[in-house]
Amino acid sequence: MSRIFEVAVDGGPYALAAGSDGAMWVTLVHRGAIARVGPDGSLEVYPVVEGSKPSIITAGPDGALWFTRAGDDRIGRISTDGHLASYELRSGSEPYGITSGPDGALWFTATGTGVVGRIDVDGEISEEAVPGGMPSTITTGPDNALWFTLNRANAIGRLDRGDVTVRKLPTPNAGPVGITRTHDDAVWFTAVLADKVGRIPMNEAMQELDLPGKPHAVVADPSGGVWVSLWGADQIAHLSADGEVDTIDLPAGSEPHGLAIGPDGALWVALEAGFVMRLPTA
């Protein structure tokens, strides 16, 4: 399937992830629900809890989808047959980012309490203190450490078996948000307040590239480089590994946020204005 299509999804599509069932699973941050969009564009919606604010979602090692509930301080889990479960965190945690870790567990950020947390597939939770700064999104790096953005500290954190290191961004007050591992043994991140995208090769200097329009989410392109959502410009940008930039215009007011690569290699975009869009990449 190579065509472009979009599916209307009410409730503020925010982030998405490919499931083991070949569908895309989408958080509906305003509706308090999770949506399943099939490869044919079919739609199913699973209510969570009103006000739960499902935010970031990821495929877990158990074949289910795991997501953060920033509105009611919980980690959610939904199986591909629609069965929901949740795990309670400390009051005021405000979990946001989540990723599958190298140890068979899920790792998440808590923007309210300023920690990085771990939850195994049985629901056991532990926390690692990080040096403040509102940890936002998180990814497993090519070195099998956990890398995360520290939005208010203007830094990128790295957690490896309890050891935390922090690297400051060259640009002041840049507001790092999105982060992802890429296929060139690097970590890429977005800086929404500075209109920049950054690249961190392992054990090398951090690089920054200019982009217009408040870069928000970033995902690795299997063919090389990264895709970035430009929330403030209603665009999607593609950056090659050598910094070449191409952009795709989206409908005005669409508010692109989350990005994911589907099982067929296509790019999927969550548009908070109420759509999920599939864009072929070849």
CATH number of 8-214: 2.130.10.10
E strand segments, 176-221: 176-181, 186-191, 196-201, 207-210, 215-220
CB 98 within 8 A of CB 138: yes
* Residue 282 pLDDT: 64
What count of other Cβ atoms lies within 10 Å of the Cβ of residue 81?
7
Residue 122 main-chain phi, psi, to 5 deg:
-95, 0
Q: Which three-class secondary structure state does DSSP give residue 145?
A: coil
Integer CA distances (angstroms), 164 to 2, 43, 147, 202, 259, in order: 43, 41, 10, 16, 27
C-alpha radius of gyration, the chain, whole number:
17
Which tokens sit at 44?
């199913």
Query: Average pLDDT, stretch 9-35?
Result: 97
Integer CA distances (angstroms), 163 to 131, 244, 271, in order: 11, 35, 36
Domain ranges of the chain: 8-214
Per-residue pLDDT band at 42 (split at 50, 70, 90): very high
Decide the pairing of beta strands 163-168 and 176-181: unpaired
HSE, side-chain direction, 13 A CA sphere, residue 108: 34
* Residue 267 pLDDT: 96
Per-residue pLDDT band at 3 (split at 50, 70, 90): low
Beta bridge partners of 110: 95, 115
Integer CA distances (angstroms), 221 to 2, 127, 262, in order: 16, 31, 11
Query: Average pLDDT, stretch 163-185?
Result: 94
* Residue 281 pLDDT: 75
Which amino acid is it at 207? Q
What does the alpha-carbon distance between residue 173 and residue 39 come to, in Å, rounded to a whole number? 40
What does the alpha-carbon distance between residue 156 and residue 31 come to, in Å, rounded to a whole number? 31
- Tell me the per-residue pLDDT of 208-262, one tens digit each, with 9 for 90 and over: 999 989 999 999 999 899 999 999 999 999 998 778 999 999 999 999 999 999 9
79 vs 202: which has the higher pLDDT: 79
Segment (H or E) for 222: none
What does the alpha-carbon distance between residue 94 and residue 75 come to, in Å, rounded to a whole number? 10
Tell me, yes or no, if the pTM score tops 0.85: yes
- Tell me the per-residue pLDDT of 101-156, one tens digit each, with 9 for 90 and over: 999 999 999 999 999 999 999 999 999 888 778 999 999 999 999 999 999 999 99
- Tell me the per-residue pLDDT of 259-278, one tens digit each, with 9 for 90 and over: 999 988 999 999 999 999 99
Beta bridge partners of 85: 77
Q: Is the pLDDT of residue 2 over 70?
A: no
26 vs 5: which has the higher pLDDT: 26
Which tokens sit at 231?
């929330």
257 is catalytic: yes
The structure tokens 């895309």 sit at: 24
Decide the pairing of beta strands 196-201 and 186-191: antiparallel
- Tell me the per-residue pLDDT of 66-105, one tens digit each, with 9 for 90 and over: 999 999 999 999 999 999 999 999 999 999 999 999 999 9
Q: Is the pLDDT of residue 188 over 90?
A: yes
Residue of 167, 257, 272 whose CA lies nearest to 213 = 257
- Among residues 30, 83, 238, 257, the one annotated as catalytic is 257
